[in-house]
Chain A
Amino acid sequence: MRPAVAALGAVTSLGKDWPTTWQALLRGARSSVLFADFDTPRSLHVPDEVPVSAIPELERSLTSDGCGAAGRLVRSVLEQITLPGLGVIRLYGASNHSETDILLCLSQNEAAPSSLWRALLIDAMPDSLSWNLGTWVYSACTSSSHALAAALLDFADGESQDAIVVSADALSSIAVAGFWRAQATTHKTCTPFQEQRDGILIGEGAAGLRLRPPSRTSDGQIHLLGIGMSCDAGHPTDPDPTGTWLEQAIYDAINWAGFSPQDLRGIVSHGTGTKKNDAIEASVYHRIWPNAEVPITSIKGAIGHTMGAAGLCNVLVAVEASRTGLLPPTVSNGSNSIEGIDLVRDSARQIEVGAPVLAVASGFGGNNFACIVG
C-alpha cells in the first residue's frame, strides 16, 4: 500500500497556510526576529542576541486547561486539511516541548488552577484536542516523522483508510535557552550546508498531511513510497560523527520504495545549519551520491527549525517539490557550499515533475528518519 497525499496544511513564520508558505519558500524568503521582540509572556529572559523565527500574531496565552500556542497551531492545521470524506479519520500527532509554557506559568504562579497542573501531568497538547487520536509520538525533532511512520504502517495493515498526521511546536523559552547555551543557535542568518554557517534558527510551526488510499488513475497524485529509520543511540544531542545510522535509514527508505539511489531527483535535508550536523549529513549524501548528482535543499534558514514539526515540514516540501517540479532554495549568505554536494541556493531548482524526492529528519537522542515521496 502506497497511500496518496490528499491534502497538506501548515502554519509557519512565512505563511498562515501551506500555499502561502510554499510560495514564500520558492521566492527564497526568510523570517527571523530577535528573541526579545518575540512576544512570550513567560520568557526566561534569554538575551536578545538570539534570533528566532516566530509566527506573527500567534496568540500565546494559555487557557486554563493548558492549551497554548502549539495547540492552536494544531487546530489551525486540522481546519486546513479536514476536508469532507468518508469514514473515520485517525489522527497521528507529535510534539516536542508542548508542555513547557505550562511549566513556566506554574513556576511563577503558586495559585494556578488545578486544571493547569492536571494538563502538565497528562500532557496538555493531546488532551486539549477533542479528536479521537490514533497515536501521539514523542521523539524530539523526529516526532512528526515517527507519527508519519505509524500512519503508514496502519495503512499497510488495513487499519486505516483515512489518516491525518499533524505536528506542532511553538517557541518555548526552555528550548531557546537550552539550544542557546548548548552553543547551537545562529547569531545572524542560518545558512545550512555553507562554510560560514554558525547554528540553528529556532523556529515554530505546524504541519499536517492527510493520507488516503491511492486513486486508480494516477492523476498527479503524490504517494508515500517508503520510509527508513534508525537511531544513533550514542550522544544525547550530537549526531553520530560517522553518519552510519543516518545512511542506513536513507538506504532503508530507498529499498522500501524499490529504488536505487540514482532514481531520486531531490533531497529535502535535515540541514539545521550547525557545524556538526551539516558536515555529517553532507558526508552521508556524498557517500551515497559521490558525484553530487541529486540536488539538496534545506528550509531551516527560511522558516527556522520547527522542532517536532520539522520532519513533517520537510515531507510537505518534498511532496510539493515532486508535484510542481521545483525545489526551493536554501537561504544563503554568499559563502561557499560544503564540498561534495549540490546545494540548491539563490533560486528554486527545476526537477522532473512526479519524480521521487527524499525528505530527511534527525533529532536529539540520535533518531534518523528518511521518507521518499513521488
Chain B
Amino acid sequence: MLPDHQTNELPAAVDDAVLLKRICEFVADAADCSPEQVGADDDIYQALHVDSLGAMAIFIDISYEFRVPEPDSDTEFAALNTPTKLLAYVRARSSFTPEPTLQTIAQRIPTDLSALSPYGDAFRFIESVLLYDSNRVVTEMTWRLENPLIMAHFRAGPHVVPGTLLSEQVAQSALLLARLEGILAPGEHLMLTQLRSEFRAPAEAPVATQAEVRFRATVRGHFGFGGFCRIGETEVARVKGIASRALGYE
C-alpha cells in the first residue's frame, strides 16, 4: 500500500490502537482484503495467505511509515506473523538509532574544514556536511555569483559551474570521507591520480550542489571512490576516481 503521507508522529506518541489499525491496513493491502477482515492475532501467512512479495510490502510500509528498520533475517520475518507481533516489533525498534543527520554529525566532522585542503579556503568546495555514515558522506557547496571562479566562467552568462569544480567537490568529499573513516594517518594526505567525470545537466549559479561519495575499493594505499553531484533530485555529475596516499603536498 502507498501511504498517502508519512506519519510525522513518533510511534511512542501514538496510541497502540491507532498503530495497530495502521498495521492492519498494511496487512490488508498485502493480503488483498479489507482491513476489517484482518484480526489482530490472525496469522498473516496461514490465515490471510500473504505471500513473499506481500510480506516484503508489509515491512517496507512499516519501515517507511514508522522509520523502523526491516528485520535482519528470514527467521525474524517469519516469526512476525500477526499484526499484534508487528506492533510489538514497531514499539521495540522505534528506539533504533536513526540515520545520522546534519545535527548528529556535527560533532563528528572536523571542526576546521579549512584544514581539509592544503590550498586554503579559496579552493575548498565543501561548505557543510549533510550526512556521514559508514563509508558514505554527503556534502554541500553553494556556488554564488560573486564567487570569482564563477564570475570568470562565461562572464556574460549563463554562469554554469565548471565541471571541474563539481569534480573537485566530489574529490574533496572523498578526502573528507577518508579522514572521517580514520584511514589516513596524521600528516598523510590523498593525491588524486585518476579521475573520470560525466556531466548530466548544467549547474547554473547561484545553486547549491550536494556531493555524495563512497569508497569502492582499496588496494595497497590506493582508494577507488565513486560519487555524484546533485541539485536536489537532479543528478548533474557522476565522478569516479582513484586517490593514492601521499605524505605532504611538496
Quick check: is A64 within 8 A (CB to CB) of the other chain? no
Partner of A37, one of B200, B216, B233: B216
Nearest CB of A to B234, in Å: 7
The listed residue (B52, B60, B214) touching A48 by CB distance below 8 A is: B214
Cβ contacts B200-215/A at 8 Å (1 or 0 each): 1000000000000010
B51 touches A182 (CB 8 A): no
Which chain A residue lies CB-closest to B227?
A: A36
The stretch that binds B, out of A73-81, A234-242, A352-360, is A234-242
Asked if A182 and B235 make an inter-chain contact with CB atoms under 8 angstroms apart, the answer reads no
Residue of A at shortest CB range from B52? A238
Q: Is A216 an interface residue (CB 8 A)?
A: no
Distance between Cα atoms of A95 and B233 in the complex (Å): 29
Cα A276 to Cα B214 with chains together (Å): 33
Determine whether the beta carbon of B53 is less than 8 Å from that of A237: yes
- Please tell me if A183 contacts chain B, counting CB pairs below 8 Å: yes
- Chain A contributes a number of interface residues (CB within 8 A of B) equal to 16
Asked if B200 contacts A41 (CB within 8 A), the reply is yes
* Given A36-B214, A36-B226, A43 and B235 contact (CB-CB distance below 8 Å): yes
Residues on B with C-beta less than 8 A from A182 are 52-53, 56
| Interface residue count on the B side (C-beta < 8 Å) | 15
**A37 engages B240 (CB within 8 Å):** yes
Say yes or no for B189: interface residue by CB 8 A criterion: no
For the complex formed, measure the closest distance between the CB of A54 and the CB atoms of chain B, giving whole angstroms. Answer: 13
Within 8 A of B (CB), among A24-75: 34, 36-37, 39, 41, 43, 48
From 229 to 243 in chain B, residues with beta carbon under 8 angstroms from any chain A beta carbon are 233-235, 238, 240
Find out whether the CB atom of A183 lies under 8 angstroms from the CB atom of B226: no
Instruction: Specify the chain A residue showing the minimal Cβ separation from B200.
Output: A41
Contact assessment for B198 and A39 in the assembled complex, using a CB-CB cutoff below 8 Å: yes
- Evaluate contact between A183 and B235: CB separation under 8 angstroms: no
Which of B52, B60, B233 counts the most A-chain CB atoms under 10 A from its CB?
B52
Closest chain B CB from A160 CB (angstroms)? 40
Q: Is the CB of B226 within 8 A of A181?
A: no
How many Å lie between the Cα of A276 and that of B52 in the bound state?
11
Distance A182 CA – B200 CA, assembled complex (angstroms): 30
A235 to B53 CA separation, bound complex (whole angstroms): 10
Q: In the docked arrangement, what's the CA distance between A34 and B234, Å?
A: 21
B contact set with A: CB distance below 8 Å: 51-53, 56, 60, 198, 200, 214, 216, 226, 233-235, 238, 240
Sampled A-B contacts (9; CB under 8 Å):
A36-B226, A43-B235, A108-B233, A182-B52, A183-B52, A235-B51, A236-B53, A237-B52, A238-B51
- Name the 3 nearest CB pairs between A and B, nearest first: A41-B200, A37-B226, A183-B56
